């Protein structure tokens, strides 16, 4: 019985370095740092671009006020008040003040 236990202990001690060598890894720290540095740089370029976040009271830039919606009934929008107009930006409809570009209402696109 002692021989079996000693044989198993010796076998486990001899097998441990072989198992460590069989695992995939990097040869040195420089390879490890190089791999992870490039992984971080790749992830910076693959992030989706953030969408603009519209809130009431925020001003819409002049270059985004070009797509005025004249047939607002077609899109299920209410008639704009005096001095207001509907503008389509991305997939949202914004009710803005014509003079200042301040948002008075927001409807998500359909």
Task: Identify the bridge partners of residue 89 per DSSP, sorted by sequence position.
Answer: 92
CA distances from 27 to 31, 36, 37, 41, 48 (A): 7, 14, 16, 22, 34
DSSP bridge partners of 103: 96
How do residues 16-29 score in pLDDT, each as one tens digit? 665 555 445 555 66
pLDDT at 12: 74
Strand-pair partners of 85: 96
Q: What is the pLDDT of residues 32-70, one digit of tens each?
A: 665 555 555 555 566 666 666 788 999 998 898 889 999
What average pLDDT does the chain have? Answer: 77
Dist CA 11 CA 8 (whole Å):
5
Q: What is the pLDDT of residues 81-100, one digit of tens each?
A: 999 999 998 888 999 999 99
Backbone angles phi, psi at 75, to 5 degrees: -100, 5
């Amino acid at each position: 019985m002692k021989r079996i236990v000693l044989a198993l202990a010796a076998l486990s001690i001899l097998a441990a370095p072989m198992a460590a060598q069989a695992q995939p890894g990097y040869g040195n720290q420089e390879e490890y740092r190089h791999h992870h540095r490039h992984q971080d740089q790749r992830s910076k370029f693959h992030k989706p671009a953030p969408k603009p976040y519209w809130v009431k009271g925020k001003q819409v830039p002049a270059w985004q006020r070009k797509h005025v919606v004249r047939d607002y009934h077609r899109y299920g929008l209410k008639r704009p008040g005096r001095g207001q107009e509907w503008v389509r930006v991305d997939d949202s409809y914004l009710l803005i003040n014509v003079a200042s570009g301040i948002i008075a209402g927001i409807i998500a696109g359909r």
